[in-house]
Chain A
């Protein structure tokens, strides 16, 4: 999914003369206080929300359409505990607030989101934020939960203490939004800098900020709600010495088993429908090169990728549930010991886990890692994690070459085991590389591991649904754009030069000659020249491989009538197929990832080194795999 993760571009509206008061609003608050959920509410935009601290790793902007104020730009900032920047994402927040972030306008007003469940500590952030002097509204989020759990607060008294309007809201349920509207409308066309300030402490350090926050919360009658026993009881099991890691493994295994046992039939069904739709639709075209272009070139290529939609959605469903429920932070805790042995800490595990979906947001999520060298090491190993773009490739070749044998009364399938093996391979490559980096060029002293564990929450249908919709449409858009262009281009290359006005033999076409020219480099891996072309085209994005196979085998008269799975058997052996999957486990075939690595490391050096390293490793491992398969099965 090479473009899946580029944030939606949003252009702030041009300033119009009559409304000079308010243009840009910043949304800030401590980590995990519900800013991103509120951002979704206020903008109607689909911002990725996950229940672990530090998920908003860069500021996002959107028009406040959710409250009927499309003229205002809302900026969502990473969570911060204080205005002293400790990690990269906290630094981003501070720079935006102070108007020092290039390309982001300085905010005219602030919406400060505080979690009512832990108000005393959260108020420590209020003092420095109010001291910035911008019109600020304080939003007490999750106030409904606080009240049902026996908490109390007097918002009027708090507003007096802070000298700023205060509203009780619930971002999840959408209550209290009218108070935000009121605040925004009151500042319409006015001098934005008119708010009256009461006495605020000059906040120098955490001790005085805490003292002030404690006094304020005492004076406003704040009573903290009872802490959630359920969350702790759950942790007693999920962090248990034996059950904890076991549960983790069972979760991972069931995800893959479900993706296979439910996803595969759905995918096969979708494939049938698409193939019939293609044949039916092209009946209306004349039986000449145009039909061949539309059916064999475009439709076969695009639909061979589109059929993987069910599996991709299932995978994102599971990752979404893990992230939103708060389990991810526990997984980081369990993994800390392993991560320590390779010189990183549990925080690096969160980006690695989310890289199972896509490496691009995962690399952006490394900004929560405070140590610069740890962060760079994590960025460099993240693309080894098996992202969802590898899934179509694995699915295709496993379904084509691995027999569906089941063990243990059908609970464990050989195909699932091979898939798990490939995921494990990527993970081990990431660990080994990190270890190598951390014991050589990226050696550093350890930064303390400090991780806040959010309370468990039930993932909402709305949040999971939005995420699936987002990912599904991005996947299909990709199939309809990059893959369409690539497959059309391949069809042209496969059908020219014309031979007496007809399409040439595939091996005589431009693509055939190119393929044969590069064959010596890939023959030792057991690959034929069509796979070679697939490897070339999949440098753009991994799933392009499948589309390319669809087009090339569709253009070959010998395999034209076969399904792609049986067509592959025509000129590829088991050794080559295994080697190909191993190649994909290691190689860096994703231009979006390279672009984001270049942006995050600020140089082309690292993506270049990473690309070459992964390519060499992929070639070597694929060679070994092919050789091993031939040794065992002849």
Chain B
């Protein structure tokens, strides 16, 4: 699930399971199968999360991101610029 990815990681979208109107809107914003999503920031309260897709930054709440299935890939290049998230990605390096 997209919501489970740590900040600084990249996921590839597999499927989106949301009501048609929302799904359609998200697709026009770039949330299409095989699209590359980078987890950029979390809001101070831990939710919503900002995702980078197609060069855009889009914020989604956890319950929306939960409906987006992804598989992970290598880490984003921005990881090294964010020491505060180093612990989160240590395991994958």
Contacts of B41 in A (CB 8 A): 232, 235-236, 239
How many residue pairs between the two chains, A and B, have CB atoms under 8 Å in the bound complex? 121
Q: Is B86 an interface residue (CB 8 A)?
A: no
User: A352–B22 Cα gap in the complex (Å)?
Assistant: 24
Contacts of B26 in A (CB 8 A): 450
Given A236-B41, A333-B50: A450 and B64 interface contact (C-beta under 8 Å): yes
Contacts of A205 in B (CB 8 A): 24, 27
Contact pattern, A 416-456, Cβ under 8 Å of B = 1, otherwise 0: 00000000000000000000000000000011111111010
Given A118-B55, A449-B61, A453-B50: A206 and B24 interface contact (C-beta under 8 Å): yes
Contacts of A117 in B (CB 8 A): 55
Given A117-B55, A452-B57: A239 and B24 interface contact (C-beta under 8 Å): no
On whether the beta carbons of B55 and A453 are closer than 8 Å, the reply is no
Q: Is A312 an interface residue (CB 8 A)?
A: no
Residue of B nearest to A118 (CB): B55
On whether the beta carbons of A241 and B44 are closer than 8 Å, the reply is yes
Given A232-B40, A453-B59: A82 and B28 interface contact (C-beta under 8 Å): yes
Contacts of B22 in A (CB 8 A): 86, 447-448, 450
Residue of B nearest to A125 (CB): B28
Q: What is the number of residues of chain B that contact chain A, defined by CB distance less than 8 Å?
A: 36
On whether the beta carbons of B40 and A81 are closer than 8 Å, the reply is no
Within 8 A of B (CB), among A337-375: 337, 340, 345-346
Q: Determine which of A82, A84, A245, A451 lies in contact with B59 in the assembled complex, contact meaning CB atoms within 8 Å.
A: A451
A230 to chain B, nearest CB (A): 12
Q: Is B54 an interface residue (CB 8 A)?
A: yes
On whether the beta carbons of B24 and A120 are closer than 8 Å, the reply is no
Chain B residues in the interface with A (C-beta under 8 A): 18, 21-22, 24-30, 32-33, 40-48, 50, 52, 54-61, 63-64, 78, 81-82
10 other contacts beyond A118-B54, A241-B44, with CB at 8 A cut-off?
Answer: A205-B27, A207-B27, A235-B41, A239-B50, A240-B44, A334-B43, A448-B60, A449-B61, A450-B22, A450-B60
Chain A residues in the interface with B (C-beta under 8 A): 81-82, 84, 86, 117-118, 120-121, 124-125, 205-207, 209-210, 224, 227, 229, 232-233, 235-236, 239-242, 244-245, 333-334, 336-337, 340, 345-346, 446-453, 455
Show 21 residue pairs from A and B whose CB-CB distance is below 8 angstroms, ordered by the A residue.
Answer: A81-B29, A117-B55, A121-B54, A205-B27, A206-B27, A210-B30, A227-B52, A229-B81, A239-B42, A241-B46, A334-B44, A336-B45, A336-B59, A345-B61, A447-B22, A448-B61, A449-B59, A449-B61, A452-B29, A452-B56, A452-B58
